[in-house]
Chain A
Amino acid sequence: MDANPDANARDHFEVNMSTATRKRRVIPGFGLTMGFSLLYLGFIFLIPVGGLLLYTSMMSWEDFWRAVSHPQVVASYKLSFSASLIGASINLVFGALVAWVLVRYSFPGKKVVDALVDLPFALPTAVAGIALVTLYASTGWVGQYLTIFGIKVAYTQLGVVVALTYIGLPFVVRTVQPVLEDLEAEREEASASLGASRFTTVRRVILPSLLPALLTGYALAFARAVGEYGSVVFISGNMPYRTEITPLLIVAKAEQYDYPGAAAIGTVMLIAAFLLLLLINGLQWWTQRRGL
């Protein structure tokens, strides 16, 4: 996903589209690449999603409603979306901080830290889930100290948030990092020379420039968290009404050969996630119009 597509570029694109029939392109290959992209997206994305929707549409409305509005399912929506939003929000703050440190300071081991950021991508999520449980269980390395303060992580909703935060970490860091690298120091110097304190410079000059990238990272981290399964099932304990996430319910239903039920819940998730991503993209579009 492009963090900051230029609005002008889009306009040009549209102009090109309208004249495409009359004019030969300077750089050829539009037909070929566009055709391939559509085919590729079709096989990889549209057909599976279309199949899901088709399958769901074959259910009667009553069956559909019964499947998606069962209190156990509703509880899982609440947990899935709220934990994903919280996890993405945590990543928004701390991911930005990590990106800042990686771009602005040099310290021994910087390259290693930089590589570590991508680890949640590479590590199988089940391994991550087991590792998190081992750490945060009430007898684990971290968990035993948290228990003293009465904080329980493993097998609670907090555990779900921890797992979803872990898997979303790279997104904000990796989207903010390049934008931060391109941010000219001159603008900060200009702000300082005009009498602004460091805090004011960060608040009024740096953050607004990072906003589109932050939103993109946030959207990606959120989307990833909503769909996460592997790491959460180990740490959440999967207690009905309390720590069950929606993807788990879908798998459970599929395992009981209740395919229509699984497809119905999947459809609800799909639509909800799509609407939320649309909202975040809308926010991004709005900030871009402000010339960011």
Chain B
Amino acid sequence: MSIEIDQVNKRFGDFVAVDNVSLSLNDGELTALLGPSGSGKTTLLRIIAGLEQPDSGRIRFHGQDTTDLHVSDRGVGFVFQHYALFKHMSVFENVAYGLTVKPRSQRPSKAEIRRKVMHLLEMVQLDWTADRLPSQLSGGQRQRIALARALAVEPRVLLLDEPFGALDAKVRAELRRWLRRLHDEIHVTSVFVTHDQEEALEVSDRVVVMNKGRVEQDGSPEEVYDNPANPFVYEFLGNVNLFHARVQDGVARIGNLNLSAPEYAGQRESRALAYVRPHDIEVLGERREDALHAQIELVSVVGPTVRLELRTDNSENVVQAELSKHRYRELGLVQGGDAWIRPVNSRVFLEDGELQAG
């Protein structure tokens, strides 16, 4: 079931939550809506679900306009951040709820409900909890029950609002891998909201980066990570170093460094910012003409990788670099010592106000 979002707008008073968003989500895909808080991602999800009405714009499921359809008729499965399980019902009753509230003519028989619920509970590996109350389960278990409950009604689309947001890091990592595998099995068109870029990159087929109610970029996880469309996406997806640079005719200069920036061929001299990821900074132990001198201010070893904080001669900002422990030992670097750094991969954006003349 594909989802089409057509020029959707939503305001809350003066606050523009969703600003003219158009998206089309493909059948069977798992899409992540990624953005900082207040970026409108949850509002957009709730509009798709029918829990919120857009001020203007249409929502279509597989071509059928569902904008005015009530949430209970829309055929969506919705998973909430805080599970929203029915506390007074057993796990079994929770999962069966969607089936038992169907009109009598469409309601499956008791035996059929039992078979289906137990099948779902097995799928989320919690069939042994059927007779327990939600309060007797851990957070991760509750969220899996919430997912089983949403799937019980065979929704046309599955919507998850920060599904792992309330869980601790380990359970979170486990659950998102599990969700990925589950999605590969059942292939229901799914959208999930997250502010965690790692989660979005790991789980989804497609990432939609949102900011201030607008879509900043939309593409595969690899695409948005490797080719961020703009400085916002660059900064939001992982750590990044900023270098002040001057761009002229396809070359960006940082001090005595020249970086190639072919997209600005023919550009007259303008101020720009070069974005470089920490792992795209090559650290050298010896002086080289095409590298910047810097002092190592802090060394922190995080498992197999070493993170360095360096200060270049002409920079106010600290530069972060990442290298393997092996390489770090090889170079013989020490805290407080000298190093030379060289961006091996960078992306240059003109500073605001600098015209991008062709």
Q: Answer whether A204 and B82 are a contact pair too, CB < 8 Å, given A193-B49, A194-B149.
A: no
Can you list 29 A-B pairs, Cβ within 8 angstroms, ordered by A? A186-B80, A189-B51, A189-B71, A189-B80, A190-B78, A190-B80, A190-B86, A190-B146, A192-B71, A193-B49, A193-B50, A193-B51, A193-B77, A194-B97, A194-B152, A194-B153, A195-B98, A196-B98, A196-B101, A197-B72, A204-B97, A208-B88, A209-B88, A290-B133, A291-B87, A291-B133, A291-B135, A292-B87, A292-B88
B133 to chain A, nearest CB (A): 4
User: Which parts of B49-90 form the interface with A (CB within 8 Å)?
Assistant: 49-51, 70-74, 76-78, 80, 82, 84-88
Q: In this assembly, does B181 line the interface, its C-beta being within 8 Å of a C-beta of chain A?
A: no
Q: In this assembly, does A200 line the interface, its C-beta being within 8 Å of a C-beta of chain B?
A: yes
| Number of A residues, CB within 8 Å of B | 20
Q: Is the CB of B88 within 8 A of A193?
A: no
User: Which parts of B7-54 form the interface with A (CB within 8 Å)?
Assistant: 49-51
A3 to chain B, nearest CB (A): 15
User: Which residue from chain A places its CB closest to the CB of B86 in the assembled complex?
Assistant: A205
Q: Is the CB of B71 within 8 A of A187?
A: no
Interface of A is mostly: helix
Residues of A within 8 A of B85 (CB): 187, 190
Q: In this assembly, does A89 line the interface, its C-beta being within 8 Å of a C-beta of chain B?
A: no
Q: In this assembly, does A191 line the interface, its C-beta being within 8 Å of a C-beta of chain B?
A: yes
Q: In this assembly, does A184 line the interface, its C-beta being within 8 Å of a C-beta of chain B?
A: yes
Measured between alpha carbons, how far is A254 from B71 in the docked complex, in Å?
65
Residues of A within 8 A of B101 (CB): 191, 194-197, 200, 204
In-complex Cβ contact of B98 among A194, A197, A205, A208 (8 A): A194
User: Which residue from chain A places its CB closest to the CB of B152 in the assembled complex?
Assistant: A194
Q: In this assembly, does B102 line the interface, its C-beta being within 8 Å of a C-beta of chain A?
A: yes
Q: Is the CB of B86 within 8 A of A187?
A: yes
Measured between alpha carbons, how far is A41 from B96 in the docked complex, in Å?
49
Q: Other CB < 8 Å A-B pairs besides A195-B98, A195-B101, A291-B135, 4 of them?
A: A196-B101, A209-B88, A291-B88, A291-B133
B104 to chain A, nearest CB (A): 12
Measured between alpha carbons, how far is A188 from B82 in the docked complex, in Å?
13
Q: Is the CB of B84 within 8 A of A209?
A: no
| Range of interface residues on B (Cβ < 8 Å) | 20 to 34
User: Which parts of B111-146 form the interface with A (CB within 8 Å)?
Assistant: 133-135, 146
Measured between alpha carbons, how far is A193 from B153 in the docked complex, in Å?
10
User: Which residue from chain A places its CB closest to the CB of B81 in the assembled complex?
Assistant: A186
User: Which residue from chain A places its CB closest to the CB of B78 in the assembled complex?
Assistant: A193
> Which B residues form the contact surface with A (CB < 8 A)?
49-51, 70-74, 76-78, 80, 82, 84-88, 97-98, 101-102, 133-135, 146, 149-150, 152-153
> Which A residues form the contact surface with B (CB < 8 A)?
184, 186-187, 189-197, 200, 204-205, 208-209, 290-292
Residues of A within 8 A of B135 (CB): 291
Q: Answer whether A192 and B72 are a contact pair too, CB < 8 Å, given A186-B84, A291-B88.
A: yes
- The listed residue with most A CB atoms (<10 A of its CB), out of B77, B78, B82, B102, is B78
Q: Is the CB of B71 within 8 A of A193?
A: yes
B44 to chain A, nearest CB (A): 16
Q: Is the CB of B88 within 8 A of A195?
A: no
Measured between alpha carbons, how far is A193 from B73 in the docked complex, in Å?
8
- The listed residue with most B CB atoms (<10 A of its CB), out of A187, A191, A192, A209, is A192
Residues of B within 8 A of A193 (CB): 49-51, 71-72, 74, 76-78, 150
B137 to chain A, nearest CB (A): 12
Measured between alpha carbons, how far is A291 from B152 in the docked complex, in Å?
23
Measured between alpha carbons, how far is A122 from B133 in the docked complex, in Å?
42
Measured between alpha carbons, how far is A200 from B77 in the docked complex, in Å?
18
Measured between alpha carbons, how far is A187 from B81 in the docked complex, in Å?
11
A145 to chain B, nearest CB (A): 42
In-complex Cβ contact of A190 among B74, B84, B102 (8 A): B84
Residues of B within 8 A of A190 (CB): 78, 80, 84-86, 146, 149
Measured between alpha carbons, how far is A290 from B133 in the docked complex, in Å?
8
B214 to chain A, nearest CB (A): 26
Residues of B within 8 A of A191 (CB): 86, 97, 101
User: Which residue from chain B places its CB closest to the CB of A289 in the assembled complex?
Assistant: B133
User: Which residue from chain A places its CB closest to the CB of B75 in the assembled complex?
Assistant: A195
B83 to chain A, nearest CB (A): 9
Q: Is the CB of B84 within 8 A of A196?
A: no
In-complex Cβ contact of A186 among B82, B98, B133, B134 (8 A): B82
User: Which residue from chain A places its CB closest to the CB of B155 in the assembled complex?
Assistant: A193
Measured between alpha carbons, how far is A9 from B150 in the docked complex, in Å?
33
- The listed residue with most B CB atoms (<10 A of its CB), out of A184, A204, A291, is A291
Residues of A within 8 A of B74 (CB): 193
Measured between alpha carbons, how far is A205 from B85 in the docked complex, in Å?
10
Residues of B within 8 A of A292 (CB): 87-88
